[in-house]
Structure 1
């Protein structure tokens, strides 16, 4: 099996509190893999361990076959791992095109040339335009990010992550705070991304999860409860018990 991202007995303790409890996770290359669980299950902590924002107490993180457990965040980005956050981190006073071009410039090693305008490098601009086109953002390319609807802003953050040309993209609640009409458009754009980008996402909207994911892992109390296809998860009595009998899919 070709795995893009794996963990082996990954654990994180904060004093006497265990936030991540021996999690062994396999994310197949090209997968649309969702990580779900009730509030406080440890999902964001796990993402922070995967990206190097937090150091594990024990265990390993393996990215495309390489153990990256001791590598910093920027080193993992260079090896093809990118993420978004629950709260947008955007350049509010730049246009959408300027923002994405700046991210491309950074990946190409042109970011230090601060005396040149953002759009001075034609290759970066062309790549940014193509990326915006793939995410259906060309119509707002010349608008400032702060003026856009929140759903569009979430897409821009994804564009910034994709500008780093990741092989694995981690999405931390991409639909959080986004109105329902916009969240469906958001997930349509995410679903249309090429399969050479593996996606692992955290999301609370179960309707979106079951429409998008081809594999689901359930985290409870920092530990992996179960994993499987959407059909398996939807009919798992352990999962239904965790969600107190609530419907977990549309």
Structure 2
């Protein structure tokens, strides 16, 4: 397999606090990989480094063999490194259909001007329809985002990320805060994401992690603790110890 995303001795310090400690991470093309760890392990800091929100204190990041360490967020997104967020960042007064139309037209260089002629661009509307169906949003496509159930808002965020045509998609806790009754739709959508999109999933929900990821990287105290196939990680006594015997690791999947 070909490496698509790689870090080399990535480190981030905030004063005397080392949030990311000498992390060398490899993600292969087409991977379904999860990044897990207890609270405070440094997962979100690492994702912020990968996407350019934060600048590393030391180390290097490569995307498809190119050094992107110094690139800003938008330049990384244009190269195909796209993320979702723990807390969604959506246009509350727009509908899912409108939001996706704007995202696609922005990608195509047409910008907000597209809204003035919504519906006149067949290819964009076809892509909107495909994404709405793919992310189970057809039933709410014309409702304002502000009134959507939270699970549907998370699905819209995934759809917007896909509208950017990612080659690498970083899913930052896609089921965080979603009621149990709405999680299955998200699990099914994530599980059916295109195989040609490389996915790094950051998640606390171990049902999602073990059903989705074939490879798992465990972060502890900012450092890469252990990596391996999901079955190996589920059995690893060191991982169980890190999670203090929590049932999510030591129980059903142990």
Q: Deviations over 1:168-220 (max 9, x none)?
A: 11111111000122112101111101111111111111122111111100000
* Matched length: 250
Shift of 1:119: 3.8
- TM-score, normalised to structure 2's length? 0.95
Q: Which residue of 1 aligns with 2:21?
A: 21
Q: Which residue of 2 aligns with 1:51?
A: 51
Comparing 14-23 and 112-121, the one that deviates more:
112-121
Q: Which residue of 2 aligns with 1:209?
A: 209
Comparing 234-243 and 139-148, the one that deviates more:
139-148
Shift of 1:123: 2.1
Task: Map residues 223-234 of structure 1 onto 2, 5 A cutoff.
Answer: 223-234=223-234
Three-state SS of the structure 1 residue aligned to 2:226 is strand
Q: Which residue of 2 aligns with 1:181?
A: 181
Shift of 1:46: 0.2
Q: Deviations over 1:99-145 (max 9, x none)?
A: 11100010000005367244443322211111111112112211111
1:171 aligns with 2:167: no
1:72 aligns with 2:72: yes
1:88 aligns with 2:88: yes
Following the alignment from structure 1 to structure 2, what is the Cα–Cα distance between the partners of residues 182 and 28? Answer: 31
What are structure 1's unaligned runs of at least 5 residues? none
Three-state SS of the structure 2 residue aligned to 1:176 is coil
1:6 aligns with 2:6: yes
Following the alignment from structure 1 to structure 2, what is the Cα–Cα distance between the partners of residues 50 and 12? Answer: 11
- TM-score, normalised to structure 1's length? 0.96
Judging changes above 3 Å, is the alpha-carbon distance between structure 1 residues 115 and 100 closer, same or farther for their aligned structure 2 residues?
A: closer
Three-state SS of the structure 2 residue aligned to 1:60 is strand
Following the alignment from structure 2 to structure 1, what is the Cα–Cα distance between the partners of residues 120 and 52? Answer: 33
What are structure 2's unaligned runs of at least 5 residues? none
Task: Map residues 132-211 of structure 1 onto 2, 5 A cutoff.
Answer: 132-211=132-211
Q: Say what the alpha-carbon RMSD is for the aligned residues.
A: 1.3
Following the alignment from structure 2 to structure 1, what is the Cα–Cα distance between the partners of residues 36 and 115? Answer: 45
